[in-house]
Chain A
Amino acid sequence: MRMVLYASLLVIALVALWLLLPTQSQAATTHHVTIDAAQYEFSPGRIEVAQGDEVIITLTASDVVHGLYLDGYDIEQQVLPGVSQQIRFFADQPGKFRYRCSVSCGALHPFMIGELVVSSNAPFRQAVAAVLLAVAGSIFYLSRFRSSQNEQGSETTRA
């Protein structure tokens, strides 16, 4: 049993380490994306690009005045219905970045959110790797050092 457990933990640790490896980079491309803002949604709600790509967003609003603020890139653009705006930037930072409406547009304005995912999304891969390593380490610790204590007596209290 113990050998199977340790082998499983080793596999989990290897998966975690694999997630930490740098991914192969592709040739940079340009993405033309039209994002329409309407209460309380951006369409599309999720954009995926690769690190280093150029992103050209045509921003439109189909009901009231909206805005787009891109976390991490500190880009902000307001848009009126019927008048499109263009945003251009290079996706040089990997990760998931939320774009939020930056103009108070109604009740659910604070929750009008979209997502830009810049692959290989290293922060997410690192976070998953960290969790897996932490869990594997925790299980290893419990199996190796806590089991003998448990056999000597429980620390919980039940009358």
Chain B
Amino acid sequence: MAADTRVDVLRRLPLLARLLKSRAFQPALMLLTLFVFTLAILTGWFGTPAGSRNFGIVFVWIVWWALLIVILVPFFGRLWCMICPIPAPGEWLQRRGIIRRAPGKLRSLHRRWDRRLKNMWLQNFGFLTIATFSAIILTRPNISAWVLFGFIVLAIVLSLIFDNRVFCRYVCPVGGFIGLYAMMAPIELRARDCAACKAHRTKDCVTGSAAGYGCPWMVYPGNLQRNTYCGLCMECLKTCPKDNITIRVRPVGADLLVMKEHRLDEAYKAFIMLACALLYSVVLLGPWGWLKDAANMESLPAWAAYAAAFWGINLLVLPGMFGGVTIIARFAAKQTAPLRQLFIDYAYALVPLGLAAWIAFSLGFVFANGSYALSVISDPFGWGWNLFGTAELSWTPILPGAVNLLQMGVLTGGLLFGINVIHRVAAHHSPGRALHATLPFAGLLTTLTLVFLWLYLG
């Protein structure tokens, strides 16, 4: 994975470089997504309560979700964060403008974000909380709209208290997993020459300049080695006086092996995402009505048991199984690194499998329910409109025969990639006995993959 295999996209496409450096480009896209986001909230509040006839539910949880997890994240990493409407109003208030670079400091109380919260734990617990209520949030337009509205209010409040995108970096439950899976993407924003950044005294990418703001994501682009916390806002592209920032095409999953940045909070994000994909596949796509009733809060005791099991599997069962396999692998490969370090390092092998699992899960309901998008675009509120003549189109599953094949292919790809990551991590810790450590993990990953396959095909 040497740097010379990477392709400097902006050198090859100078027009794209000009576009990305334009101060109007990102706000224009954000205004567009903000319009759709506002419509989703309004239709949730004032439209039909039937989720499959409501723009808010269909466009957020089917169209946007499919776009995000099947296309944007795997191929473009954090590209969604570049155009996400949720932080937009707060950021524009901070900056006292939308397009132009306002002089002076950002407008906020300039409070410091607590050091103990400078990690993914808030995002982990936020995602788990949302996921526990997912059967409600994903299907009730009104509640879904309040959750989306809550996100935007929280983003505004945080932007008034703290500088920059604290909400995106440390709080947004969606941003957390996008960051994790952005490590898989075949594109990256990086400095062309890190030495030039090191020697550069003013560090405009951090402090800002007349051309743009200091990095709103609070990273130092000059030493960026992973996609995880870069929101692709392109401010550093605008501020760098040496034209030293670029976007490159690179090997898929290259960030997973930047081991000096491996952390427990990120490892747990990998566990949570994989476990949630498995649990969603069981609860939402399975034939077990009693589980759907429990998730749907038909009775409080049943829901409480469901929630306890949901959190237990996410935080204890899967990490516990993984920890057990780590012990076996450490013993088999005679590795001397601390168990905690090995547990964290190997957990990054769950990133490709987790992403594959989410794509497979999403294919399972997006193809089945995607046709609702055509009818709700003509009648977003479910009030009997027919704006584009498609309101009466009936529900039709798309390519039901192809979904299983796609799921199988994606899961197999994620599994093989995961085994490859395990082997590389093992080679780092015990070069001569990498295979000894790989085999137990290969067994676990294969078992998990077969469970997914059984759920979808068996």
> Which residues on A are within 8 Å of B, measured CB to CB?
5, 38, 40-43, 45-46, 69, 71-72, 95-98, 100, 102, 104, 107-115, 117, 121, 123-124, 127-128, 130-132, 134-135, 138-139, 142-143, 146-147, 150-151, 153-159
Nearest CB in chain A: distance from B255 CB, A:
10
Given A130-B412, A139-B438, A142-B423, 20 other A-B contacts at CB below 8 A?
A: A5-B435, A40-B293, A41-B288, A72-B400, A96-B458, A108-B135, A109-B51, A111-B284, A111-B365, A127-B457, A131-B446, A131-B450, A131-B453, A138-B420, A150-B423, A156-B424, A157-B257, A157-B260, A158-B260, A158-B428
> Which residues on B are within 8 Å of A, measured CB to CB?
1, 50-53, 135-136, 139-140, 225, 257-260, 284-290, 292-293, 296, 365, 368-369, 395, 397, 400-401, 404-405, 408, 411-412, 415-416, 419-420, 423-425, 427-428, 431-432, 434-435, 438-439, 442, 446, 449-450, 453-454, 456-458
Residue from A46, A69, A95, A151 within 8 A of B287 (CB atoms): A46
Residue from A100, A134, A150 within 8 A of B397 (CB atoms): A100
Residues of A within 8 A of B431 (CB): 150-151, 153-154
Indicate the member of B293, B420, B431 with the most A CB atoms within 10 Å. Answer: B431
Residues of B within 8 A of A143 (CB): 435
17 examples of A-B residue contacts, CB within 8 angstroms: A40-B293, A41-B288, A41-B293, A42-B287, A96-B404, A98-B400, A110-B368, A111-B139, A113-B287, A124-B454, A124-B457, A131-B450, A154-B427, A154-B431, A155-B1, A156-B258, A157-B257
Contact indicator B257/A45 (Cβ below 8 Å): no
Q: Measured between alpha carbons, how far is A128 from B453 in the docked complex, in Å?
A: 8
Q: Which residue of B lies closest to A153 (CB)?
A: B431
Residues of B within 8 A of A114 (CB): 287
Residues of A within 8 A of B401 (CB): 71-72
- Count of A-B contacts judged by CB separation below 8 Å: 162
Residue from B1, B293, B415, B427 within 8 A of A131 (CB atoms): B415
> Main secondary structure on chain A at its contact with chain B?
mixed
Q: Measured between alpha carbons, how far is A117 from B397 in the docked complex, in Å?
A: 19
